[in-house]
Structure 1
């Protein structure tokens, strides 16, 4: 377990003291870090800023909000975490699993709120969803893998094999891949996997899989190489379905995904509760339940697949 136990009363006391200086929340300082730039995480951060502003915490006014992006580099991420640990920030925000783990390794005296962490228990961030037990809590983008694979079958019932490329460096991706293998067996689909250490390996890994369709997990490394995945799917005439709605704009055929802006708003509400005295140890991890189904019929056609009318009718949004 990365995170060590911390008395919640101490954290609450520190936050209440910080918010009380000057008679209001004028002294509140939050330091945030993402893992890399891509539309979904950007949407989460935008939602957090919007939600904080709606609650009266406005960056540059009564809130000091710092944001760092290591662009996927682990050594830079570690340096950011150490710098934050030495700062006087009141609360920390981590977008995705690696930043949450990096912060939790070096900060135990102040709250850490994460977003877009698929399995915080497996990542060693919390004891359980219901009772985090320390100074870390947040929102999960855990998705129903069986429903996502079922989307593939609804679009193309002839699919028998599905390929998943995922990052070996992201524990959330490993957990999802294992769940997909189990779900695939239950649906009569063979799920084949290939791992990568970074985005430059995605092309070779994807090309090594001889499959009818590809499925992209909530995986920052692979999503950052989505254009490569789209090209391979078109070349192989294999359907490409993802967990990232913005990837459909790039050329994936469909996505059943988290509404990431809504997750940002949900995370902001949790941040506000903690700033106002809630104990992270007793603040349950929340799953973002608002799902979005997006389709791109033109992209599917380029992969040799026609999306059925009944599937198109169920889409929340159609692009392309």
Structure 2
């Protein structure tokens, strides 16, 4: 069965059967990190006996970067009455929470579910919502920055002001960097088409550019990396996929494993647990990915210590 709406691509993987469970998944946009989350959820379901087309119906929709689309998808999914809905990234999860108080919702790739008003606290919510956060230790992020460029004092931050995850991290970074005598210089980019301009505005002003899992930024990462290469500004990130797309280094969640972790929660719900009895979790697997070619392009010589600590080294 194929569902089509003008604003998003829907995929249905199986016809409904009486014995099937029904899981719907929606993401704010499709890019490597969020695609890996989705794959992790689906693989976890499969590996635990929920087989697409046999005892499981899967449905997916991308909001293609639009919050308005996310709201429409949420309404469509709720009308279809799945057993659980997975929201990948904050805007899609917020749209789901605003649409239903009954159908179980499992968020993932959300940095701060409390600030995003998905859950009232980090305790079991007693609502229909739980999930897995991708929050990272900023201390470890700053340590990584200084391993890449020990004399860095001014850190550029390209971000979308409309993404609550990004604005929260901006405020937290300001505080943590000030403790070390460092400074953050923010470069807002409301749309993906603004990413290059925002990055270019940092030339001559910063020692490094740092990016998070901001969906607009990640969706246009090659454009950002191009400016970093041209300007010889070291580019570092907080999600491993970005290192494969032009960042020198990325210390962050394994988004595939984050999806597997969310999938485990979905399974608990399919097996009868209430989402409100399951406290929100934080992703538990991080990894450092290094891109040696990006380091060369951006004028950085990587130390042996950094190279040895990498879980993965990219050479492209």
Q: Does the 8 Å CA contact 1:259/1:291 hold for their aligned counterparts? A: yes
CA distance in 2, matches of 1:88, 1:275: 14
From 229, 237, 240, give the equivalent of 1:242. Answer: 237
State the secondary structure of the residue aligned to 2:168. Answer: helix
CA distance in 2, matches of 1:126, 1:75: 22
Look up the match of 2:124: 131
Look up the match of 2:248: 253
Mapping for residues 113-262 of structure 1, pairs under 5 Å: 113-209=106-202, 210-262=205-257
Look up the match of 1:41: 34
State the secondary structure of the residue aligned to 2:213. Answer: coil
Mapping for residues 79-94 of structure 1, pairs under 5 Å: 79-94=72-87
Deviation at 1:275, TM superposition (A): 1.4
CA distance in 2, matches of 1:317, 1:88: 41
Deviation at 1:132, TM superposition (A): 2.1
Mind listing any 5+ residue stretches in structure 1 that lack a counterpart? 1-20
CA distance in 2, matches of 1:250, 1:265: 23
Q: Aligned residue pairs: how many? A: 297
Q: Does the 8 Å CA contact 2:111/2:134 hold for their aligned counterparts? A: yes
CA distance in 1, matches of 2:124, 2:83: 22
TM-score (norm 2): 0.91
Deviations 1:209-261 (A, max 9, x none): 22110000121111111111111111221110011211111221000010111
Deviation at 1:126, TM superposition (A): 0.2
Q: Provide the aligned C-alpha RMSD in A.
A: 1.3
Q: Does the 8 Å CA contact 2:290/2:312 hold for their aligned counterparts? A: yes
From 311, 315, 318, give the equivalent of 2:310. Answer: 315
Mind listing any 5+ residue stretches in structure 2 that lack a counterpart? 1-16
Q: Does the 8 Å CA contact 1:146/1:184 hold for their aligned counterparts? A: no
Look up the match of 1:264: 259
